[in-house]
Structure 1
Amino acid sequence: MRNFLFDFDSTLADTRNVAVTSTQAAYRLQGLTVPSRDAVVSYMGVPIEVSFAKMADRSMSDAELQALYTVFREQYHLAETNGITLFAGMGEALTGLKAKGDHIFVVSSKHSVPLQRNLEQIGLGDTFAAISGSDSVAHYKPAPDGILNLLERFNLAAADSVMIGDAIYDMQMGKNAGVATAAAMWGAADPVAVRAEQPTYILKTPLDLLQI
């Protein structure tokens, strides 16, 4: 592989606790039934524009959903300062890939602004050739838009490209884009479901990236 496309949450960095506590706080502040930790984790990997309505205990208007998104982003911003950490070995893996001349990107369900802010927070602000957030695509994961946009923009061959992620949505996105897939098992909340997607590669640690 020459082109490595990374998910962010639970793949590059451990953000699970921040995501769960921020989501639960947003629902509570908006007077909604607070979703369980398991429910929040199960939807990690897809944008809040998809998951939040599904976790609500009643139908919500567009205005109510927009307010919920805003409160969530405020809560996330408050919690992220000390709650996001780079997975052990990931820094060395990224350095090794770049040393080999490989191209590395981020394809995330986050909006680009908080995504870039989080990358800077963990010391990766200038590491990637480009990032693709949920605000830069017409269709969210598992649609292939984020990958296809980068392949076209940088004239990359799909046969030399791999999508790395911790969730089934990342594996499905990679398949839909016609690229290889690599399961980041160090961050997978549901390893059985991820393996069931039959990824091209099963990675136990970030340093395994240097072998594919």
Structure 2
Amino acid sequence: MDNFIFDFDGTLANSGKTGELATKLAFKEFDLKEPSSDDINYYMGIPIEVSFKKMAPDKKFSDAEFENLLSIFRKCYKDLETSNLTLFDGIFDSLKELHRQKRKLFVVSSKHSTALTRNLESLNINQFFDGVIGSDQVEHFKPAPDGVLETLSKFNLSPDKSIMIGDAIFDLQMGKSAGVHTAGVIWGAHDVEALKQENPDYILKSPKELLEL
């Protein structure tokens, strides 16, 4: 493969319980029933603009109320991420080697681009990426193909030589819809059997296997 398109959370970085804790804190502050850890982890692959409404199906938000909930979450997340956000073992070395081999590396994430850029810089891996797309930079969120299609178009990439890599079924569905190869990683938070049911081209057990693609 020439072009590697990565998800962020659960694929490149382990945010530990950051997303889960921040979600529960935001829901609690908003006087909503706290979603279960399983529900939070399941929806981790799609933007909070979508997942929060799915986890509070009985609540009818006004636009202002919902934006306030998202703001509370983002503040909680930012407060927690410094002590929780780490790279998965082997990711830095694999990215460094792919970059050395002059492969093209990109990130397409459900995270807002402001937080995404901040996280990439704090983990010192922003240096390896040619392009980064956050949830606020696409019209339709995962599993819609917008993020991958935008990357292919902007950088004139061949789908046949490009691969979407992620730990969630939404990443694989997005990649398939965009016509690129797909790889599910099993070091993230999502269910391995669910990933296999999406029939990705590859299942990766460790970051070093990225070098074999």
User: Does TM, scored on the shorter chain, surpass 0.5?
Assistant: yes
Residue aligned with 1:181, SS: strand
TM-score, L = length of structure 2: 0.97
* Structure 1 position 160, deviation (Å): 0.1
The number of aligned residues is: 212
1:44 partner letter: M
Determine the structure 2 residue equivalent to 1:160.
161
Residue aligned with 1:163, SS: strand
Structure 1 residue 189 corresponds to structure 2 residue 178: no
1:158-204 superposed Cα distances (whole Å, 9 cap, x missing partner): 00000000000000000000000001111142111111000001100
Determine the structure 1 residue equivalent to 2:31.
31
1:118-142 superposed Cα distances (whole Å, 9 cap, x missing partner): 1111111222101000111010001
Q: How does 1:13-28 map to 2 (within 5 A)?
A: 13-28=13-28
TM-score, L = length of structure 1: 0.98
Determine the structure 2 residue equivalent to 1:86.
87
2:88 partner letter: F
1:33 partner letter: K
Determine the structure 2 residue equivalent to 1:147.
148
2:199 partner letter: Q
More off after superposition, 95-104 vs 72-81: 95-104
Determine the structure 2 residue equivalent to 1:75.
76
Residue aligned with 1:189, SS: coil
CA contact under 8 A between 2:2 and 2:162: conserved in structure 1?
A: yes
| Separation of aligned partners in 2, 1:80 and 1:197 | 30
* Structure 1 position 99, deviation (Å): 1.5
1:8 partner letter: F
RMSD: 0.9
Residue aligned with 1:54, SS: helix
| Separation of aligned partners in 2, 1:135 and 1:26 | 20
Determine the structure 2 residue equivalent to 1:41.
41
Residue ranges of structure 1 left out of the alignment (5+ in a row):
none
Moved over 6 A (4+): none
Residue aligned with 1:11, SS: coil
Q: How does 1:55-66 map to 2 (within 5 A)?
A: 55-56=55-56, 57-66=58-67
CA contact under 8 A between 1:162 and 1:182: conserved in structure 2?
A: yes
More off after superposition, 118-127 vs 99-108: 118-127
Residue ranges of structure 2 left out of the alignment (5+ in a row):
none
Residue aligned with 1:140, SS: coil
